[in-house]
Each structure stands twice: as C-alpha cells, then as structure tokens.
Structure 1
Amino acid sequence: MKKKTLMTKDQQRSKSRNLIVIGILGLLIIIAFMISMNTGYIKLSPLEVIRTLFGYGTEKQRLILFEFRLPRIVIAVLVGMGLAVSGCVLQGISRNALADPGILGINAGAGLAVMLFISFFPSTTAAPVFLLPILAFVGAGVTAVIIYALAYKRNEGISPMRLILTGVAVAAGISSIMIVLTLRLSPENYQFVATWLAGSIWGSNWKFVLSLLPWIVILLPFVFSKARVLNVLNLGDLTATGLGASIEKERRLLLAAAVGLAGASVSVSGGIGFVGLIGPHLARQLVGSRHQFLLPATALAGGFLVLVADTIGRWILQPSEIPAGIVVAVIGAPYFLYLLSRLKD
C-alpha cells in the first residue's frame, strides 16, 4: 500500500512538473509575441504597441501593427504548432526519431501542389487563398501514400531507416520537378517561388490566418485526443494489438491528421524544414515521452521556434529579411546530423 501511495505521489509530482513546463513554454510564446510586435524596420516602442492594441495609436501605428505584424506573428505561431505536432505524430506512428514532414518529403509534396496552383492562378483573390491548404493537403497526402507504399514490405512492415531514405529520395525527386517548373515562370512568379521555397512567412495578412486557422483548430484537438493511442503504438505493433488497438486504422487516421497539419502549414509558410524534428525532441527532453504532455509541449515549442526564427529574420538584416526557414535550418541541420549519428550508434 505504501509503495502504491509513493508511486501515486511520484506521478502527481511528475504531472505537476510537466504542467509547469508547459505553462513556461506558453509564457515564452507570449514574451516572444510582444518582442516580435516591437521588431521591424519601423520602430514601435512597447508603450506604443500597448496603446495601439487598446485603440489609442495613430493611423500609421494601427496599420503597421494590425495589418502587417500581427497577422504574420499569428501565422508564425500556428505554422510552428502545425509542423511540430505533425512531426511528433509521424515519429509516434513510425517509431522513428528522425521522422519529420520536411525530411520525409511531405512538405515537398504540399509545396509542389501549391506551386502548380500559383503558376496558373493569381494568389491575391480570396477564393484561391482558402483553396491553398486543401491543395497542399492533397499534394502532401499523395506524397505520403507514395512514401508509405515504397517503404512498406509485407514481411517486415515499415523499417524506420528505410522510411527516412525513401522520404529523402522522394523529396529530392519532387524538388527536381519543382526546379524544372520554375523555368516556365515569369520573373515575378519566380521571385515569389524562390522566396517561398526558402521558407518565408509569405501569407502575412488576415485572409491567410483564416485559411489556416480551421485546420489547426480542428486537427490539433483531434491529435491530442489520440495521445493514449500514440502511447500504445510506441510499444510496438504486437503489444498494441494485444492491448486491443486497431493499429492500421489508427495509424491511417493519425497519418491523415499529420499530413493535414503539415500541408496547411506549408501552404502559407513555404518550405520551413526541421520544425517537426526539433519541436518534438525539445519537448521530449522537457516533459518525457507520454503524449498527454508531449503533444501540447511540442505544439508550444514549435510555435515558439518559428516565431523566434521569423523575428530574428526580420531584425538581423533590416530593412532586408532572412526567411524563417533559413534561420530554422541553421539550427536544424546540425541537430539532424547529431541525431543521425546517435541512431547509427
């Protein structure tokens, strides 16, 4: 009885600690949010930002804050959450620590669909803006099916290393197709596509926020509700089957959710990679591997990472900008090589 009570207290202590960590991550996003509102070529002091938020700013200050900075900041947070949780789900269903929508080629598939669309239709009208996440989801979904089919073997299932290598190969093939397609673009569209491929938060107005928000609001709670399923899947297929889990059905549902989150995020942010790799690993170090805490912590870590990267990109070379994808890649590429070396060991 004493041992059982002691275990319960340890669990409660661990739960309290994890909730505190999640609260701290939320606070960090708020701090980064405030700093980002003060960052830009045209300076706004913290007092001016607060006055403008409460309706006391000048016309110019309202234009800068509400029409240019706030939409971009909100998109950066939502994109970071979507990509990070997508990576966490992919790592859970594949039991592969290197799984990431960018590395596996899912982002590339979504990007190809978006690129095909913007090559033939203007992206400034309202209807195409709301179609972009759907088209990106289709492109990402087709790519995920191709990768899954190529990596799957009847007797062995999905090998983690084979999944990574297949994803890298498919992503390289899609990137080659995109390079060929750029040859037929006008100079204006080519400049846009080049910026988009670098991972720039290009959809920086409220229409793009509204196009992305439903995907995040619907899919994130769905994934959070599957936390126990992901815990069971991490135990292995045989154990999960023995515990009564419908493995293939749950895996397909979670894969569809991961593809939806990645595709919708890519449609407004471009090719930002490594967020789905860094976010889950950082969260796992902070709160452990139980998905009840890992998924919320991953969402907050991903949102914080992309927001900070976009803020640094806007600040470091003013008045020019560095795409957020490049800033994230500077951090993510070495981290990916580090994880790969550990996996070999």
Structure 2
Amino acid sequence: MVNHHLATPAELARKRRAFRILALMGGLVVAVFIISMNTGTLRLSPSEMLQTLLGSGTDQQELILYQFRLPRIVMSVLIGAGFAVSGCILQGVTRNALADPGILGINAGAGLIVILYISVMPLDNSIFLLPFLSLLGAGATAALIYSLSYRRHHGISTIRLLLVGIAVSAGIAAAMIVLTLKLNPDQFKFVQVWMAGSLLGTDWRFVTALLPWIIVLLPFVFYKSRVLDVLNLGDQTAAGLGAALNRERLYLYAAAIGLAGSCVAVGGGIAFVGLIGPHLARRLVGPNHAYLLPASAMTGALLLIVSDSLARMYEVPTGIIVAILGAPYFLYLLTRAR
C-alpha cells in the first residue's frame, strides 16, 4: 500500500533548512546571553565571570551577576519570547501582518489595570498578582475591541480590528496619563519608568511570577501550530477541513492575551517586539507555524536581550531602545502593506 503522506524531497529540504536555522538561532541566543552578562556600568572580565559562575567570585561579583544581571537577562528572554509569540498568534488568527498586542491595544489594557492597582496598593505586595491583573485588563480590552470590530453579516474585518485597536489604545493611554497625575511622587516615578518599558526583573521574584505563564502557554501554542496553519487558509477552507473556527480562535486569542498581559505586568510598556519578531522569523523559516512559533520566540528573545544590554550601557529604559529599533521597521511594513 502506497503511503501518500511521505514528504517530498523539497519538503524534506525545507524541514532540514528550518531545523538548521532554529539550531543556529538557539546558539545565538546562548551566545548573546553570555555576552550580556558582561554588559553594564560595572564590567566583569570573562575570567571573573567564569570564576563567579563556578562559585569562586568575590561578594561584589556575585551580587552584580546573580542579583542584578542574571534576573534581568532571564526576564529579557522570557518577555521577548512571550511578546513575539503573542504577536505571531495574532498575526496568524487575524491574517494581518500588522497585528501586534501593542498595536491592538492589549498591552494598553493590561497596563491600565496595573496602574489602577499600583495607585492603591504597594508594589511589594502585588508581584505575583500583577500577571493576573494584567490578564484581566488585557482580556477586557480584547473583548471590547472584538465587539466593536464585529459586524453581524460580515464578521470580523482585520483592517477594522486594527483601526479599532489603535483607537482604543489611544483612549486608554489618555486615561493612564490622567491616572498618573493623581499619584504620589514615588508612585509617579515608578509608573513613568514602567510605562517607558524598563524591565523590573532585577529581582528573582519577578522571574518566578512570569515563568509559570511562559511554561504553560508556550507549549500549548506550539501544540496548536497546525491549527494556525489551517486558519491561515481562510474561514471557508478551514471549516471544510473540520476546524472549529470560533473555539480555536477563542483558545488562541486567550493564549495571546495571557502571554502579552503577563509580560506587560513585569516588563512595562515595551512595544514592537510582537510585530518585529514574527516578521523576521517568517523571513528565516517561512510560514509553517511549527517552525515559525519557536523562531519567533527566539527572535523576540534576541531582540530584547540586545535592547536591554544597550539600555544598561546607556542607562535608559529598555522600551526606548526597542522603540528606536522597531519604529522604522513598522513604518517600512506600513509602506509595503496593501
């Protein structure tokens, strides 16, 4: 009996190329991670860093590496991967190359609820609660955008979804400015730095708060990679192949919101990672989500590690560096979008 599911030579070649690229990207993430450990105002030589990792460093070297740099670098990896995979999901579900949790207002909704909470409660008591609050704000914003974009006889228009998301995000940004004016000086300073996208992860507690969300949601999204491939074929084709469109979209939207909301809670207002990461990954490995999702995660992690390393060198919020890198690319995509 002939097996009609055997891969063709061209498909095998594409798979081998994708695996090689993923392996190369993984090695690049590790290399940049190591380089980033020696980036900052106080430098450690490679020998000092190695001695510290082996437990032979001084108290000052251990403090610099273990309490300041490593938590922040790990946070960069987690937040970059989370934002990029969230953007990849939204681009796949909406079939819109410009979809991104920041542009669609999801990040703004998560940020609003965080600012509301911080204005009445001390931050030290809310580290593990922040991702849940962000999820609540992001989910409410996503539901609002979806309801405003939906038309009874026409469904969801991706262009309308994008425009409504931008409008809602602008309205939420205005509300956040009003709220910050009512904060005390310490709260105001914290919120301004947080809104600029300054990673809070100089403390392992923030890593612990974010890590469960990444560990649970990323494997679930990778498992749904074939569903994203089917949804990209269009609603009629996907329905013909037996996909439960509404249910699968709901699951994927929820995963994207969970990733973006939890990352906003500890990373602040970092934009463009969810837009740039999937685009660059798609150029490298193609549209197959089995490879595109992990490639997006590694691209987002690389982008944020590099941005945060530059931010530490020049002592500016990471979100500013990401915006400097991402805004020109976003304008480039707008000029090419039809």
TM-score of the aligned structures, taking structure 2 as reference length: 0.97
Judge conservation of contact 2:196–2:269 (CA < 8 Å) in 1: yes
Does 1:283 pair with 2:281? yes
Partner of 1:231: 229
Partner of 1:324: 318
Return the alpha-carbon distance in structure 2 between the equivalents of residues 156 and 341 of structure 1: 27
Report the CA distance between 1:7 and its aligned residue.
Answer: 6.1
Partner of 1:78: 78
Letter in 1 for 2:157: S
TM-score of the aligned structures, taking structure 1 as reference length: 0.95
Letter in 2 for 1:207: R
Judge conservation of contact 2:109–2:134 (CA < 8 Å) in 1: yes
Partner of 2:195: 197
Letter in 1 for 2:176: M
Letter in 2 for 1:123: L
Report the CA distance between 1:65 and its aligned residue.
Answer: 0.5
Report the CA distance between 1:183 and its aligned residue.
Answer: 1.2
| Secondary structure of the structure 2 residue equivalent to 1:199 | coil
Return the alpha-carbon distance in structure 2 between the equivalents of residues 45 and 186 of structure 1: 41
| Secondary structure of the structure 1 residue equivalent to 2:337 | helix
Report the CA distance between 1:6 and its aligned residue.
Answer: 10
Return the alpha-carbon distance in structure 2 between the equivalents of residues 133 and 302 of structure 1: 20
**Out of 243, 246, 249, which is 2:244 matched to?**
246
Return the alpha-carbon distance in structure 1 between the equivalents of residues 51 and 118 of structure 2: 39
Return the alpha-carbon distance in structure 1 between the equivalents of residues 127 and 77 of structure 2: 19
Residues 69-113 of structure 1, C-alpha deviations (whole Å, 9 max, x = no match): 100000011000000000000001101100000000100000011
Does 1:42 pair with 2:42? yes
Return the alpha-carbon distance in structure 2 between the equivalents of residues 5 and 230 of structure 1: 20
Return the alpha-carbon distance in structure 2 between the equivalents of residues 46 and 250 of structure 1: 48
Partner of 2:114: 114
Report the CA distance between 1:336 and its aligned residue.
Answer: 1.2
Partner of 1:207: 205
Partner of 2:260: 262
Return the alpha-carbon distance in structure 2 between the equivalents of residues 23 and 236 of structure 1: 31
Report the CA distance between 1:153 and its aligned residue.
Answer: 1.0
Report the CA distance between 1:294 and its aligned residue.
Answer: 0.2
What is the percent sequence identity of the aligned residues? 59
Matching of residues 295-314 of structure 1 within 5 Å: 295-314=293-312
CA RMSD of aligned residues (A): 1.3
Letter in 2 for 1:198: A
Report the CA distance between 1:5 and its aligned residue.
Answer: 11
Letter in 1 for 2:158: P
- Structure 1 residues not aligned, in runs of 5+: none
Partner of 1:340: 334
Report the CA distance between 1:191 and its aligned residue.
Answer: 1.0
Report the CA distance between 1:339 and its aligned residue.
Answer: 1.1
Letter in 2 for 1:256: A
- Structure 2 residues not aligned, in runs of 5+: none
Report the CA distance between 1:203 and its aligned residue.
Answer: 3.1
Return the alpha-carbon distance in structure 2 between the equivalents of residues 7 and 60 of structure 1: 56
Return the alpha-carbon distance in structure 1 between the equivalents of residues 140 and 291 of structure 2: 31
Judge conservation of contact 2:210–2:266 (CA < 8 Å) in 1: yes
Partner of 1:56: 56
Judge conservation of contact 2:104–2:166 (CA < 8 Å) in 1: yes
Judge conservation of contact 2:200–2:206 (CA < 8 Å) in 1: no
Return the alpha-carbon distance in structure 2 between the equivalents of residues 311 and 117 of structure 1: 30
Letter in 2 for 1:102: G
Return the alpha-carbon distance in structure 2 between the equivalents of residues 123 and 218 of structure 1: 25
Runs of 4+ more than 2 Å apart: 4-7
Partner of 2:175: 177
